[in-house]
Structure 1
Amino acid sequence: MKPLKSLLAGAALALGLASGASAQDPVKVGFVYVGPIGDGGWTYHHDQGRLAVEEHFGDAVETTFVESVPEGADAERVLTQMALSGHDLIFTTSFGYMDPTINVAAKFPDVMFEHATGYKSAPNVSTYSARFYEGRAVMGHLAGNMTESNKIGYIASFPIPEVIRGINSSFLHARKVNPDVEMKVIWVYTWFDPAKEADAATALIEQGVDVIFAHTDSTAPLAKLEEVGGYGFGQAADMEQYAPKPRLSSIIDDWAPYYIERVQAIVDGNWESVNTWDGIGPGMVAIGEFSEEIPEEVRAEAQAMVDAIAAGEYHPFTGPINKQDGSVWLAEGEVADDGTLAGMDFYIEGIEGDIPN
């Protein structure tokens, strides 16, 4: 029989080895996606951010993802399974994951969560989003210059503030350069459904629209425009490779730096709940190359707007701006505050129709 001293020493060594092995275990990071990673837009660029995390951290981090997860109960089940399977940090990348994220986070206080585009947080839940409306302002400037019918269209996903801001910013800046512009809005109640998106594009074109914005995730609207004529924009990704002729420019979401920063906080042990809302200046929103279809002078004007927004010299929602009913929202030179923008639930003057409940 071994002496007690030897047994204790062996136990201490075993514990030390186990502790050392545990310290070497990779940080486990999960991503939940509303669409497929091959959508060419929103989910594709979130997944590019995940791949950037893998490249940056190497073996120190292990990432997993689940794609095409419906918002609601399905999301809660997926998040629960991720939390149970040892994930240290979970990114939930669609607005409709907000309540499922909050619900699951309450059950797993030692797991950290990051929710994209929502507004509910907790000690172990951060929120993050991009100021897409800055990019919409630039695209609106292009649309107002490029339309020949003076009718522009917007394929809208869901009536949430993010989408309403995009509609307002696009129309405001189109009308600044073309007072005769009218905007048609079609709500499709989906983030990713190529058939519905193509049908919406067709319906807009049949109404005389020749420039289309899409606040959905597939390349279907651009494909329809390439088939029948007109112009559009890349959404969440450049999309030039899918339909180069109708694409005038694009709003590109660059999530990689944020994902790397937040994973680093887990690695360093100093993660805390934050609320991040970045735009063109910090680089979370990028503007794709301007098409040669656009006159050189208009391209220069658009680039000047990009530069001014990046430098903090221009805010897309600067008065005078009225609400749809003609009442004053922003006086001359007044800039919209983030609180109003975050909860925007109204159209600006000149947009026809009602926002659905």
Structure 2
Amino acid sequence: MQKKLFLFLGMLVIASMILAACSPTTPPADTGGDTGGDTGGDTGGEPLTFGVVLVGPQNDHGWSQAHATGAQYVVDNLEGSTLILFESLNPADKPEATLEGVVDDMVAQGATLILTTSDEFEEDTLGVAQKYPDVTFINISGDDAKTGEAPANLGNIMGRVEDMKAIAGCAAALTTQTGQIGYLGPLINFETRRLAASAYLGARYCYENYRGLNPEDLQFTVTWIGFWFNIPGVTLDPTEVTTSFFDSGVDVIMSGIDTTEGIDVAGQRAAAGDAVWSVPYDFEGACETAPDICLGVPYFNWGPSYLAVAQAVADGTYTQSWDWNGANWADLTDNTTTHVGWINGAGLSAEAQANLDLFIAGMASGEINPWAGPINLQDGSTYVAAGEAATDDQIWYLPQLLEGMIGPSE
């Protein structure tokens, strides 16, 4: 009897935690930079209540904060919209919580649109979409709508940040003095392989074409920590990994994880007199941790795509789609139009900045394509032949790292 009572009380505690975490909320005002002018307005239908589920905290200065910023963009631009935000749905921070339980509560509060903002949620989003066919679900970075596995009420959105990662790789290659770049990777999947590979291809191109150096001499090492951010006792510690990179001769750290350990350690080492630099990831304000050694940041700008789907759901016009949204090459920092962006960092030299501008202009015009062949996979097999360019599917479903990259592909 006592055990049953404890079990009942425990269930009450868990339920209360989920209810509290899912209470309608607004992300803090400093979750992002300028999101531009009003591109929404009258819903033309019923006021929209929408939910956003974050894998990390909304103030992580990385992946989750970028999504919180995008959610706030909807609130600011869609009249009558109400946000329900649930943060840190992951095994370390909320081991008792499940996506289904979070969604149950959001639906009970009236949410008709729910965005699940991690590859980690892909499988469970499919399940809740089937459970609630009258609610629209968007899973970020997944491809169930592309492959035909998703029901009609489930779509996918992802930013084409591969292009911005190539710019980031170029910035790293234009700056390194040791010829060694370290890439701090999360877990290994199609997404993380293609992002690391995009950075590598941009680095190779700029090392050869602007610095006149042999790209075969450029060392590009990837260390995967095992998850999107540090989980003590489960993943590698990104602070220790970054320190090890610098101790081995790496002088530029590129981050592919959700949080800021890479630039944090780089800033500390630079303050101690080391000539080191960093390229953070995900969030437009990520350079703020250590601006003087930041080469720039490739970032996601979720506001425009979130607003478009929210408006469609509010109007009753939403139809399923798989969207891989690209940059506004005319202005990579116009957050009313671009889906991914690049912000130059104070750590770039004037010469590096000039060459990086040339690279960006070449990518914008189509003259430069980092994914142009010949490109071999890490095992030496041909992936993109000379004279050809990788297709979208070849990039999206990259099966290995590329020849010349150091680090495991599986």
TM-score by length of 1: 0.87
Pair 1:254 & 2:309 matched: no
In structure 2, relative to structure 1, the CA distance for the partners of 1:188 and 1:24 (3 Å cut) is same
The Cα shift of 1:242 comes to: 1.3
Counterpart of 2:278, as a letter, is G
Partner-residue secondary structure (3-state), 2:126: helix
Distance 1:232 1:194, change over 3 A: farther
Q: Could you tell me how far apart the structure 2 residues matched to 1:345 and 1:51 are?
A: 36
Tell me if 1:171 matches 2:200. yes
State the distance in 1 between where 2:220 and 2:283 align.
23
- Quote the sequence identity (%): 29
Which of 280, 289, 300 is the aligned partner of 2:327? 280
Aligned: 1:35 with 2:72: no
Structure showing greater Rg: 1
**Could you say what the CA RMSD is over the residues aligned between the two structures, in angstroms?**
2.0
Does the alignment pair 1:306 with 2:353?
A: no
- Counterpart check, 1:186 vs 2:232: no
Corresponding residue for residue 124 of structure 1? 153
**Alpha carbons of structure 1 residues 84 and 310: separation in structure 2 relative to 1, 3 Å:** farther
Alpha-carbon distance, 1:25 to partner: 5.5
* Structure 1 unaligned spans of 5+: 1-22
Segments of 4+ in structure 1 off by > 6 A? none
Moved more, 309-318 or 258-267: 309-318
Answer whether contact 1:194 1:219 (CA < 8 A) is retained.
Answer: no
Q: Which residue of 1 aligns with 2:125?
A: 101
Structure 2 partner of 1:6: none
Question: Of 156, 160, 171, which aligns to 2:185?
Answer: 156
Change (3 A) 1:25 1:320: closer
Mapped to 2, the partners of 1:24 and 1:171 lie a distance apart of: 47
Name the SS for the 1:288 alignment partner: strand
Report the CA distance shift for 1:309/1:84 in structure 2 as closer, same or farther (over 3 A): farther
* Residue 63 (structure 1) aligned with residue 83 (structure 2): yes
Residue correspondences, number: 332
Return closer, same or farther for 1:115/1:313 CA change in 2, 3 Å cut-off: farther
Q: How does 1:203-222 map to 2 (within 5 A)?
A: 203-222=244-263
Check if 1:75 corresponds to 2:99.
yes
User: Contact 2:46 / 2:314 at 8 angstroms: preserved in 1?
Assistant: no
Structure 1 Cα separation of the partners of residues 376 and 409 of structure 2: 16
The letter of the residue matching 2:82 is: E
Which of 234, 240, 260 is equivalent to 2:280? 234
Show CA shifts across 1:251-275 (max 9, x none).
Answer: 1211101111111101211011111
> Residue 338 of structure 1: CA displacement?
1.1
CA distance in 1, matches of 2:395, 2:193: 9
Contact 1:280–1:306 (CA under 8 A) maintained in structure 2 = no
Tell which deviates more after alignment, 112-121 or 307-316. 307-316
